[in-house]
Each structure stands twice: as structure tokens, then as C-alpha cells.
Chain A
Amino acid sequence: MSNRRPYVRSMDGWWKRDAYFIRYMAREVTAVFVAAYAIVLLFGLVRLAQGEAAFNGWLQYLKTPWMLVFHLIVLGTFVYHTWSWFNIMPKTMPIMFVGGKRVQPGTITGSGIAAAVVACLAVLLIVKGMHP
């Protein structure tokens, strides 16, 4: 008869066990803020379809203190989301070679972040151009 009795440990609270897991969970949670902001923008689109007065009402609402605080929080989570997303990007891509040399993970992350910064600046400039 076997005396084997393998012991399986509990996974309760696993994500608090290691700082790496906490950062992972933080990255996943930021996706909720991205979704929340998408809903805010979609709501704006609905108000736009309802006419100018409705849309202006929505714009006014965005300027209330609570919404400004919400925007600041969302901005913070977006920055973390963007950074963490590009940080994991090298892991999601096939191995690439440029000029016979392997593209380093840092180059992929750096290019992604640079592209995000350029895209944000471009959008800001376009919006600024529409409202001089």
C-alpha cells in the first residue's frame, strides 16, 4: 500500500504573494478604466446623435469637478496601461531580425511607446488646429 499523500497548497490570495503578480493585476485592472472611458465616449456619441443641445450638455457635464477628477485618474491608468502593454509586447511577437541581427525586446517596447507618444501629440495638434 502506498503512503503517498501529495499535498496541494491553496491559491487563495495568490496575487498578493509576489510584487510581480501585483503589477500584473494592476495592468489587467487598467483595462477596466479603458473600457469605462470608452463608455463615456460612446455616451458622447449618443448625445451627439440627439442634437446640439444634448451634446453641449454632455460637454458641460465633462467639465464638472467630479468628471475632471475622473479624467485625471483615467489619464494615470492610461499611462500605466500603455507602458505595461508595450512592456509585454516583445513577449507576444515572433522573433524578428533586422539586417541579420535579432531585434531586442527593449527596442520593441521603446518603439511602441514612441509611437504612442507621437500618436497622442498628433491628435492633440489636430484638436488644437480645430479650436485655435
Chain B
Amino acid sequence: MADAEKIIEIEVLRYRPEQDKEPVLQTYKVPFTDDMSVLQGLQYIKDYLDGTVSFRWSCRMAICGSCGMMIEGKPKLSCKTFLREYYPQGLRVEALAHLPIERDLVVDAADFVAKLERIKPYIIPKEARTLEQGEYLQTPQQRDMYEQFSSCINCMLCYAACPQYGLNPKFTGPGVLALLHRYNADSRDGGQDERMKLGYADEGFWGCTAVGYCSEVCPKGVDPANAINQNKMNSAINYFTRFVTPGRADK
């Protein structure tokens, strides 16, 4: 039997660059059932109440990383958050914090994508192998060194949780640094030197002050704060060994 229909108020932070000087709130009354996500609530608004509301989504199952937004001030995936949690008081949805608003709930992700490309988020083989030599083997423990960091879906919730990124957008930020570590920590990878130049830079690991909220909000359990902070030790060792290692003053 279908649930009795309830109505919830969804406040959406609107921003239409052609008409709004700054973002404004608009409230919609949405009928919902207990199994409806916040994303489905927004889809109801777009389909039946106001077709001009813009937001990103794709998979509806927390794997594409498109539908991240601030829900009652917390960075969350709207497909993984249910309307019933906010009934009867209602909820406010806003574009992800710390990122420029392109339109309504859509943020400008260009900075994130550029940073992601820079860290070379792919395996750079340590040794060239021919097909005859077979696959690159890895022990379960070697896999455990990077596996959790490889769960990142580039949803940018950690950027919305990172005040250091909000205060200084030059900071590479949690997600990209976690992916930098994901490839560096892979026993098959040989690209550490290239990536660490970015990690050791002012915009790298040291931009993090271990707030730790990135790891709290991550919908995939990546723990970016751990990926970043364990590299501060590597960075410090790298800095001091330059004085005692001949021929590597450049690093």
C-alpha cells in the first residue's frame, strides 16, 4: 500500500546570473513519500513546479558524484539523502560551499578538474613490461595501502567541507591530494617524483590544517585528511634530506 502523501517545504538557493545580482532563496512545497531522496524532490520541482531550477545528477546511486549539494548546511549527495529525515521542519538546499555558483545548484568545477589533471590520476608504470611478462602482481597488503583512496568519485563534497580551500582556492584541496596519494601509494606506480612536486608545493599538503571535516563528509569513506597528513612527514623528510643528499638540490 502506498504511503499517505505528505508535503515538505524545500528551500532552494537560486542564482540566475542573467537576472539575480546575488543568490536568493525560493521555497517549494513538494509532496513526498518515505522512499524519496532529496534529488527526487528536486526532480519533482523541475517536472511539476518550476522547470527553471538547475541541478546536476546522473546515476541516482552514489557512484557518479554529480549531485553533491549543501543540504541543511552539510555537504551531501542528494541521491543518498532522504527527504523523510527533514520532515516536518523542511530543508534548505544550496550549491556546494566554497565553489563558485554557475547557476542555482550547479557549481563551477573547472578549478577542481584542472587540479585533478595536473596530478596525473592514472598509473605511470614503474617498469615497462611486455605482454609476455604478464600482469603486474600485487599482494593484498600492497592493495590495502591505496584501496580506500581509490573509492573517490570526484563529487567535491570534501571541497565544500574544507574551509582552507574556501579561504584560499589555490590550495589543491582534499579530493585531488587524496587521489595523488592513491596513485603514489600503488606498488605498480612509478610517478611519485612527478606528483610530489605538486604535493610538496605551498598549494600541496601543507595547505591542510587537519580540520578533518573532508573525511567526515566523504560518501565513499576515502579519508582525504589521512591521505594528506601522512604525506606531511614525507614532505618534511624530503625537505631535510636535500641537504645531505648530493646532486638533488632541485627537489
Given A91-B226, A91-B229, A97-B141, A9-B97 contact (CB < 8 Å): yes
Give chain B residues whose Cβ lies under 8 Å from the Cβ of A5.
17
Contact yes or no, B144 A14, CB < 8 A: no
Is B163 an interface position by the 8 A CB rule? yes
Give chain A residues whose Cβ lies under 8 Å from the Cβ of B23.
7, 9
Given A3-B18, A91-B226, A17-B73 contact (CB < 8 Å): yes
Interface residues contributed by chain B, number (CB under 8 Å): 33
Q: State A5–B16 Cα separation when bound (angstroms).
A: 9
Q: Which residue of A lies closest to B18 (CB)?
A: A3
Is B186 an interface position by the 8 A CB rule? no
Is A53 an interface position by the 8 A CB rule? no
Contact yes or no, B212 A88, CB < 8 A: yes
Contact yes or no, B212 A24, CB < 8 A: yes
Q: Which residue of B lies closest to A6 (CB)?
A: B100
| Residues on B facing A (Cβ under 8 Å) | 15, 17-18, 22-23, 73-74, 97-98, 100-102, 108, 141, 144-145, 163, 166-167, 209-213, 215-216, 223, 225-226, 229-230, 232-233
Query: Once A and B bind, how many residue pairs between them come within 8 Å at the CB atom?
Result: 75
Q: How far is the CB of A50 from chain B (nearest CB, A)?
A: 38
Give chain B residues whose Cβ lies under 8 Å from the Cβ of A20.
211, 213, 216
Contact yes or no, B145 A95, CB < 8 A: yes
Interface residues contributed by chain A, number (CB under 8 Å): 26
| Residues on A facing B (Cβ under 8 Å) | 3-9, 11, 14-15, 17-18, 20-21, 24, 28, 88, 90-95, 97, 100, 102
Give chain B residues whose Cβ lies under 8 Å from the Cβ of A28.
209
Q: How far is the CB of B185 from chain A (nearest CB, A)?
A: 8
Contact yes or no, B141 A92, CB < 8 A: no
Give chain B residues whose Cβ lies under 8 Å from the Cβ of A4.
17, 102
Q: Which residue of B lies closest to A11 (CB)?
A: B166
